[in-house]
Amino acid sequence: MSFSIQGKTAIVTGAANGVGLAIGRHFLDEGANVVFADMDEAKLVEELGEKAGDDTSARIFAGDLRERLTLANLLSATIDAFDRVDILVNASRQTIASDPLNIEDDAVELLMQQNLMISLRLSQLIARRMILQAEKDGNGEEMAGSIVNLSSIAARRTHPRLLAYSVSTAALDQMTRSLAVALAPHKIRVNGVAFGSVMSASLRGALNENSDFREDITEHTPLARIANAREVAEAVQYLASEASDFVTGQIITVDGGRTLVDPVAAPAH
């Protein structure tokens, strides 16, 4: 049983910032080929710089993943660079506050598009490529690929201001389970990682603005700290590697025990 992803080719969406960027960098450190995909081209260039290019194991891809043509172009760019795709990490996500009593609030619709539909459409597209690769390789007993969806403990927690985010991540979790069953005959595994508060630029900014916010988070987290992004990345690596070959349709929780205690806590960030 191996946790290695060396030599594998991975697409990571939402890879210009935060957890998505951390996953992409971690995968590079572990010897994988990585396509960093995000809408923010300037941020991709700023973060990766000379690390991405024709003579490296990294590529950057900028585009609006809500567009079907962009998804097709992402796959084409990956195949052109590395000939195949073995791992898809759907880390593109957005969090916005919503008013549960405002009929004009379209946050649910927006986040269903961003947090569910991008992952669903890209998973369908990449899965078809994985199936073709497996048929060509002729390795009927080996796994054809792994898809990992980045979710949130908000899917299981209730916070009125996070109605749209909670609904979209809960839908993503169910999509994960449904695709896992649908793709199992093709030896493609689909899993998720739901996390709580992770030290990202956005959370760091929130902590700077409100000094009580850190205490609120740690008070409601049994392990009494905020995770670093690498801890989420390592959980994703496990699900992408041969070590989890008999694991599919599961949502692994990385939250320091936060979902085990009183739900009246700081919202998942």
Helix (H, G, I), strand (E, B) or coil at 262: coil
Structure tokens at 199: 């030290």
* 43 falls within a domain: yes
Q: Give CA–CA dist 197/266, Å, rounded.
A: 9
Residue span of the structural domain in which 231 resides: 9-260
- Of 119-123, 161-165, 230-234, 247-251, the one with minimum mean pLDDT is 161-165
In sequence order, the 6+-apart residues with CB closer than 8 A to the CB of 241 are 2, 3, 4, 5, 146
Q: What percent of the chain has pLDDT over 70?
A: 91
Distance between CA atoms of residues 233 and 27, nearest Å:
8
- Listing from the earlier edge strand, what are the strands of the sheet with 58-62? 58-62, 33-38, 9-13, 87-90, 145-152, 188-195, 251-254
Give strand ranges (E) for the chain. 9-13, 33-38, 58-62, 87-90, 145-152, 188-195, 251-254
Section 27-35 average pLDDT: 98
**CATH code: domain of residue 149:** 3.40.50.720
Is 168 a domain residue? yes
> Does 30 map to a domain?
yes
Tokens of 103: 């009929």
1 domain residue, yes or no: no
Ramachandran sector of residue 6 (left: φ over 0; alpha: ψ -120 to 50; beta: rest): beta
Q: Is the pLDDT of residue 92 over 70?
A: yes
Q: Is the dihedral of CA 124, 132, 23, 250 positive or negative?
A: positive
Residue 263 clears pLDDT 80, i.e. is over it:
no
Mean pLDDT of 70-86: 98
- 3 assigned to some structural domain: no
The verdict on residue 267 lying in a domain is: no
Residues 101-159: tens digit of each pLDDT: 899 889 999 999 999 999 999 999 999 999 999 999 887 678 999 999 999 999 998 88
Query: How many domains are there within the chain?
Result: 1
**Total-model pTM:** 0.92
d(CA 14, CA 23): 10
The residue that leads in pLDDT, 248 or 49, is 248
Report the pLDDT value the prediction gives residue 151, as an integer from 0 to 100: 96
- pLDDT for the residue numbered 215: 74
Strand partners, 252: 193
Residue 265 resides in a domain:
no
- At 97, is the secondary structure helix, strand, or coil? coil
Mean pLDDT score of the chain: 90
Residue 60 placed within a domain:
yes
Is residue 95 over pLDDT 90? no
- pLDDT band of 1, cuts 50, 70, 90: low
Residue 133's pLDDT is what?
A: 96
